[in-house]
């Protein structure tokens, strides 16, 4: 097949209307969209996806952790490793309609387009929807792709207890998505995930395509500072052991580190709690979380060490005791340089400016990168808003991203232009 035969555009009307249609599933009476993993709402979303996959004539497979696959194989390519496209269709509580769904439906749209254009791919193409990417109901997040990549046993994952006391395995059985395939049954040749950025960079810069070359490492800690509860009026400053003040010092320290990191480290204290939490009592206890991210493992470790050393000094100076607990730790992921190049070229061919960038958020791609060459394509999120009903990406950007995916897939199926 000649390069000129590569289709240039997906069916934008179909992609956009399906995004809307899937987005209407799981709306409650107040128009709040929630499809938590393995709930009735998730089942409704899955059923819709399966019906579209079947309508495209793809082979449907479900693995034991409930990951859904639609696979397009031809007689000519059936012994080749597939290109896998995908993301997830579960949502957070009160979600937007793009996060995850955009990648899954674009993957399916690319396959549909190639079929309709009678394109003959040199490899099978599969679209995947991974279970429980959001991790709201069951921990950890990105669970389906983590299990698929061998990072968590199926049994442990199925035994996960939800925030509502349910067991994931039972819930998957209940909604009819406890499949029989062993996770990992398809060994992809490559995995490409198209996703909204969920951050402000592309939108702010007016760049339509992000060629995502790596994904930040994430370190979550819970820090507990124990001081002494004392009367706010009667305790001289120098006799205080103020857990709240010590917490405030940590927060400002982390910002100083982030400022000094040349845009590489981000640090966030998103939760905090004082005890006894009374206006006129010096806090005896301050508990808060630290979210540290850096795309370089060595740098991330340096940040963790710097924080640990600072906490030691602080405990001595403020005469408080400090304990830390690691909640989450993912090393940074470097995506496949060749695929990132292909993404840049695909954007360029379509006249779309692109930018090499780091993913600040976690994605299924970071798990699948353990088992095959992987990369991601980002499109702008207006104002960087995500996990919120205000999450929005312009239709032109959605279509542009899907067209880039189409071009990348065409290229990676082995056809030289």
Residue 327 beta carbon to a second copy: minimum distance, rounded to whole angstroms: 7
* Number of residues forming the site for a second copy (CB under 8 A): 60
**Nearest-angstrom CA–CA distance, 396 and 203:** 13
CB atoms within 10 A of CB 61: 18
The SS3 call for residue 249 is helix
Q: Does 285 bind a second copy (CB under 8 A)?
A: no
Stretch that binds a second copy, among 21-29, 41-49, 193-201, 338-346 (CB under 8 A): 193-201
Q: Which two structure tokens, joined as six digits, stand for 101?
A: 């769904």
**Nearest-angstrom CA–CA distance, 21 and 140:** 28
CB atoms within 10 A of CB 4: 7
Q: Does 162 bind a second copy (CB under 8 A)?
A: no
Q: Does 334 bind a second copy (CB under 8 A)?
A: no
Between the CA atoms of 237, 240, 245 and 249, what dihedral angle is there, to the nearest 10 degrees? Answer: 90
Preceding omega of 298 cis (within 30 degrees of 0): no
Q: Does 197 bind a second copy (CB under 8 A)?
A: yes
User: Which of 153, 163, 259, 396 contacts a second copy by CB under 8 A?
Assistant: 259
Q: Does 236 bind a second copy (CB under 8 A)?
A: yes
47 is in an annotated binding site: no
**Tell me, what DSSP letter sits at residue 140?**
S
Residue 346 beta carbon to a second copy: minimum distance, rounded to whole angstroms: 23
Q: Does 41 bind a second copy (CB under 8 A)?
A: no
User: Which of 248, 306, 315, 382 contacts a second copy by CB under 8 A?
Assistant: 248
Helices (H), 319-385: 337-349, 364-368
241 is in an annotated binding site: no
Please say which residue, 166 or 287, places its beta carbon nearer to a second copy.
287
Distance of CA 236 to the CA centre of its chain: 49
Residues that bind a second copy (CB under 8 A): 197-201, 204, 216, 218, 220, 229-239, 242, 244-245, 247-249, 251-252, 255, 258-259, 263, 266, 268-274, 276-283, 289, 291, 293, 327, 359-362, 384, 386-388
């Amino acid at each position: 097949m000649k390069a000129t035969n590569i289709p240039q555009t997906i069916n934008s009307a179909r992609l956009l209307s399906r995004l809307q249609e899937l987005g209407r599933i799981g709306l409650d009476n107040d128009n709040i969209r929630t499809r938590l993993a393995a709930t009735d709402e998730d089942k409704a979303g899955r059923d819709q996806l399966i019906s579209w996959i079947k309508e495209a004539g793809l082979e449907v497979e479900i693995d034991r952790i409930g990951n859904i696959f639609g696979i397009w194989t031809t007689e000519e390519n059936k012994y080749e490793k597939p290109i896998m496209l995908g993301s997830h269709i579960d949502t957070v509580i009160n979600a937007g309609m793009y996060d995850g769904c955009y990648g899954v439906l674009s993957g399916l749209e690319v396959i549909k387009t190639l079929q309709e254009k009678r394109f003959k791919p040199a490899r099978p193409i599969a679209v995947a929807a991974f279970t429980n990417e959001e991790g709201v109901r069951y921990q950890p997040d990105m669970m389906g792709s983590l299990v698929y990549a061998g990072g968590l046993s199926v049994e442990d994952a199925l035994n996960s207890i939800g925030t509502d006391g349910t067991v994931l395995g039972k819930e998957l059985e209940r909604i009819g998505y406890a499949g029989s395939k062993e996770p990992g049954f398809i060994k992809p040749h490559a995995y490409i995930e198209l996703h909204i950025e969920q951050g402000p960079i592309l939108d702010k810069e007016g760049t339509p395509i992000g060629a995502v070359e790596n994904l930040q490492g994430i370190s979550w800690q819970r820090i507990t500072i124990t001081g002494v509860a004392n009367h706010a009026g009667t305790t001289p400053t120098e006799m205080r052991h103020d857990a709240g003040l010590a917490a405030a010092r940590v927060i400002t320290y982390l910002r100083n580190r982030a400022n000094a990191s040349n845009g590489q480290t981000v640090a966030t204290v998103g939760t905090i709690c004082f005890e006894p939490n009374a206006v006129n009592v010096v806090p005896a206890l301050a508990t808060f979380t630290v979210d540290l991210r850096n795309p370089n493992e060595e740098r991330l470790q340096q940040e963790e060490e710097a924080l640990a050393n600072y906490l030691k000094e602080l405990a001595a100076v403020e005469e408080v005791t400090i304990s830390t607990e690691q909640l989450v730790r993912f090393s940074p992921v470097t995506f496949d340089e060749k695929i990132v190049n292909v993404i840049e070229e695909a954007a360029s061919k379509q006249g779309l400016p692109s930018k090499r960038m780091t993913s600040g958020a976690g994605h299924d791609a970071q798990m699948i990168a353990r088992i095959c060459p992987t990369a991601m394509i980002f499109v702008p999120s207006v104002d960087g808003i995500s996990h919120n009903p205000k999450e929005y990406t312009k239709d032109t950007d959605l279509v542009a991203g899907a067209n880039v995916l189409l071009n990348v897939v065409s290229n990676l199926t082995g056809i030289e232009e």
